Amino acid sequence: MQCSRWSPCWALVVAFGCWDGPVLAQTPAAQPLTLVEALARAREVAPESAASLARVEAARQGVSEAGRLPNPIFEFRQENWFSGVPRQALPLDTFAEVTQLIEIGGKRGARRGVAEAQAGMQEAGAGLTWQSLTREIARTYLEALRPAAHAQGPSRGPRRDGPGDGSPGRRRDNGGS
């Protein structure tokens, strides 16, 4: 198995604690890690999972921002500077304005709808990220168990290639057509 830089394999490394092998080997009563525990630990420490949840939260915040009114504009200005006329004859003109943009035509509702669609896409993406991470962890977990299963030898369960296995090549014709 080869782990690339962005592969979720590192989550198993963290979950199993492989980088700290000698310390784990010294503990006499180390319990084997179950697949459920490995998935739970990966959900806690996987940066892919944390990043997708952060994207979902950001998209949800975007929905609340999309429904708000734009910020008001406050403007303060003075005119007639350096006009060449004495101040007593032509004093400075001072203006203070407050402007609030009011959108019409459903623009704010449309913006909110787009933000809700983006939040839904991020939630679906988080689900796909977790599904991919779960699949990779399960595959790696089963690959780690495979050498132990081969060391135990073949199972003593019923054979599937004998008579009565349901395969047409093994059935005997008992005289019927």
- Fill in the amino acid letter for 95: F
Tens of pLDDT, residues 2-26? 555 545 554 555 555 544 445 444 5
Residue 24 is predicted with a pLDDT of: 47
* C-alpha dist (Å) from residue 110 to 58, 70, 71, 106, 131: 19, 14, 18, 6, 32
Specify the pTM.
Answer: 0.53
Tens of pLDDT, residues 51-101? 999 999 999 999 999 988 888 999 999 887 777 777 677 778 889 999 998
3-state SS assignment for residue 104: coil
Q: Which residue ranges make up each domain of the chain?
A: 1-81+106-150
Tens of pLDDT, residues 21-45? 454 445 555 677 888 998 888 888 8
Residue 1 is predicted with a pLDDT of: 47
